[in-house]
Every structure is written in structure tokens, then in C-alpha cells.
Structure 1
Amino acid sequence: MTTIDALRREAIDALAAGGVPAPEVDADLLIGHVLGLSRGGVQARALISSVVADDAAAAIRAAVTRRAAREPLQHITGLAPFRSLELEVGPGVFTPRPETEFVVQFAIDALALVPSPDPLAVDLGSGSGAIALAMATEVPHSRVVAVEKSADALPWTARNIERHGDGRVRLVEGDLADALPELDGLVDVVASNPPYIPLGAVPRDPEVRLFDPAAALYSGEDGLDAVRALSRTARRLLRPGGALVIEHGELQAADIGAILRADGFSAIACHRDLLGRDRATTARR
């Protein structure tokens, strides 16, 4: 017979030994996932040494073993929190990050300010659908088109749009380089978290290096091939005065600004995230 507090201590030790950055948090979330409890619920039951059934204890230990091997927590639970949403994720799709929650705010703000009863936004390289769905749910009178190329990612995009899109998000299979010619000059906001890691760079975190799809990470020798294509596509899609929002690496702001300036964008600005790192660039058509 096993108690939650004993399982929790065991899980924390195993996760810490595996180098997981926040072992206590992940232990609580994994136990809660198996038992259907919030993190607070796990901690409350640990205080009174609640007993855990053998099959549930085995499931918790299996989940902890996977996480200790640095499989992403979101792959184990099948869910990734993103702003007000819970998105389904797994192998083949990029797991949305807290940094993108910061970046998408610029797109939401721009979309909300459009003087139209049904402003139009496009998310290029949508992946899980995080950016598209955040815009659609937080600007509820908007229309959003999500563009995704990867055959592995598309089922996840479709599933999340079905779950959260409320009929206002349209999924289009296609490459961001030549997407949506029928919308040229009609779009109010284009937003994207494109791949931006240089081919020679190796991500530090095993969760990224081993589990995120390469197509969502790497983009040419300098990491900016997708951004170059994105800039040209956004220039074509946006109406005059329309807004572009791009997430990028912390050392890429100057190069991205130069790309956008060469393509005719104005009001180019870089924005730092909560850790003070360059994280997003915005511009106007």
C-alpha cells in the first residue's frame, strides 16, 4: 500500500536525478494527471497521507520514469496550457511555450484595435494552433486562418481548432512561403512563431532537442530562412497599415529588422520578454 506523500517524495527524487528543472512541480502535475487532481489537491492529500491504489501508483511511476528521461511533461499528459486554453499536443507537433504567450499579446492587441466588425488574422506555421486560437478566443469578433504544412502536426492543429475554434478558425494545409494568395491585401494581422534555430546550433534542453520536430526548430544556416519567406508572405497578405508579429531568438532582432526593412515594412520594433531577452518583433505594412 502506497501513500501520496511517499509517491511524491519518490517522484521528486527521480526527477531531480534526471535533471528535470522543476522536479516538485512536475511531480505534483504527474500525480495529479493520473489521479485527476489539481496541484493543490495533490499537496493537500499528501499532507494527510492519502492511500493510492496499486494500479494508480504504477501509472504514476511509469509517468515519472518517462519524465525523468526528459520526455516533455506535455507529451505525457497530452495537454499544454496556453493562456486560457488547454491544447492537445504530442509527438510531431511543437509544444507551445510561455514565451509565445507573451508574443501573441502583441497580435491580440493589434487585432482588437482594427476598426472592423470582423477583423482577419493569419497564423503562419500554426503547429498546435496556439497563436491562432489565442487570437480567436481573445478577440471573439475576429476571423482567423491557421496555416500549417507538416503532415505530422496537422492532426494536432485540426483537433485543437475543433475543440476551441468556435467555427471562426479555418485550417489551411500549406507552406507559409506561398500561403493564401486569395487573401492578398486583405489581412489585418499576420502572426507567426517560425523555426529560427541555425542548422549548426544544438538546443540545450533535451525536451527540445529530442522531442520537438526538427521542421519547427531549424531554418537554414543563420536560422532566418523561414523569417525571410514569412516577411515576403506577410507583405503580400497584409492590407496597408496591417500588423506583423514575429517570435524569434534573443540574438536575432537586428537581422530580422533589416529583413523587414528591406521588404518595405515600417514601424519596426523589438520587444523584450519578462526575462529581458529580445523575443518579438512587430512591424506595419
Structure 2
Amino acid sequence: MIEMISAILPFFIIMGLGAGIAPFIEREKWIEVLNKYGLFIGFPAIILASLTKVRDYSTLDLRIIYANISILLISIALILFISKIARLSKEIRNTYMICSFWGNVAYLGFPLLSGLYPDSKNVISVIIAVYIIVVFTVGVIILEISQNEKSIDILLLLKNLLKNPLLLSVLAAIALVKFDIMLPKVLQTSIDMFAASASPVVLLSLGIFISRKIQFNKNFIHSAFISSYKLILLPLIFILILQFFNFSKIDSSISIMESAMPLAITPFALAEIYPLDKEIISMAVIISTMLSLFTLIAISVLIQ
């Protein structure tokens, strides 16, 4: 428990710094610039740096990939089913769907879990890639269907997917490993430097973001439920299902901890394109991030 507290506190110190400087800066401009850096440079660099450094994936238990994909799809189906029965609006239903599983798996999850499991960076990287693939394929397709219920332009959808820097970085990393292509040392060093800068930059942005005031209105209930599902129920679903399979302790722990990460800001950006509720998302980001300091520690103790 002490190890987990020591590992997680630096991330919240950076977020606290962001919240502290928020009143003295142009908040929205800072958030936009820092998040774009993370989206187009930092996050892709993390994916490329982590996936390409480990060339031998023969020891990786592929079942853990299938298990993570399956559980995420089960979660998506469950949320859509419940929200349909509850007769939620399209915007709120989409918000529940995308926010229920997409957490801060890279900027918080990768450095935190890499510190706790330094010899398992390949597993951490692959599981992050799973989340990216699911959110930008299944998740985006569901959002596209909800937005264009009468007709869907498949070619336009594929074009938009292939323009996504996160998905492209995963595909590029897979290709480099598959064909055993080694990047020039100077390029690899540059990517490593960008990757190292990603988490502090985006966590600072997240700190600025969560300094917003929470509105205690009807949407607060939705945000609180999403946060509870993301931080508590989803990890418990992972624990329940993974215990029936003979996975290594580390593989299971990494999967569970990644599922317990607080909501990331990505859905807020997706709300610019798709029918999602920005207010619910923003409050869920704030609530889940603040509570995750305690829930991540609790989950880590539970799975020890």
C-alpha cells in the first residue's frame, strides 16, 4: 500500500500544480494547446516508444489481450442495454457508452504501472493499445451510427479512423515490430524524449481542467454514476471474470488497474464531433480524477 501511495502521489502533485495555476492563466487556451500536444505528439510517442522497444513478444500471453477486448465489449453492451431500458437520450446514452470504459490508461496508467511493474512494460503497452483500438473502432462506429442513423458513409468513416494519430501510432508500432524494422537511434531518442514529456504535460492540463466548478444539477447524478462505474464497477467486473482464467498475477493486476483509471479528457474532444453531453463528461472527468487517488489505492490493495 505504501508503495502504491508513493507511486501515485507525484501524478497528483502535477495535477495539483495545474489546478493551482488555473486562476492566473487563460485556462481554455492552455487546455487546448497542452491536450493537442498530448494527442498529436505525446500519446503517439508513448505508444511507439513502448511497443517498439520490446522486440520479443513470444512470452506475452495473448489470452490477456482477448480477455481485455472481450470484457470491454461486454461492458459496452451492458451499458448500452441498461441505457436503452432507461430510455436515456441519444447524447446521454453515447456519453455513458464511451465514458464507461475509456480511462486515462496512457498519461496516468502507463507511467504509474511502469513504476510498479518495470519488467512488464510490453504487457502495459499492449493493453493500452487494446483500449485505443476498441475506442476508435467499436466506440467511434457506435457514435457514427447514432449520429447518422439513416445512412453511414463507410469510406468517410474509414478515412476519419485512419487520420486518428493514436490509432495510426498503434498500427505503425505493430508494423515496425512485425517486420523487425529498427528506427535510427537519433529518431528513437527523439521519440523517447517526446514520450517522457507526455504525461507531465497532459497531467498539468488535466489539473487545469479539474479546477472547474462542479454544477450540482441533474447531470451531476449521471457524472457520479459514470465515475462510480469507471472507478469501481468496471474493475470489479475485470476481477470477477479474470479469476476464472489462469493468467499470471502481474498480467491480471495490470489489466485490472488499467480498467480502474479515471476518465480521460478524450471523450470531451469527441463531443465536438459526435452527440455527447459535454457537461456530464467534464464533471465525470473531475469527479473520477479526484476520487481515483483513493480508489486506485483501494483496488491495488484488493488485488494484492
TM-score of the superposed pair, with normalisation by structure 2? 0.31
Q: Normalized per residue, which structure has more helix?
A: 2
Q: Normalized per residue, which structure has more strand?
A: 1
Larger Rg: 1
TM-score of the superposed pair, with normalisation by structure 1? 0.32
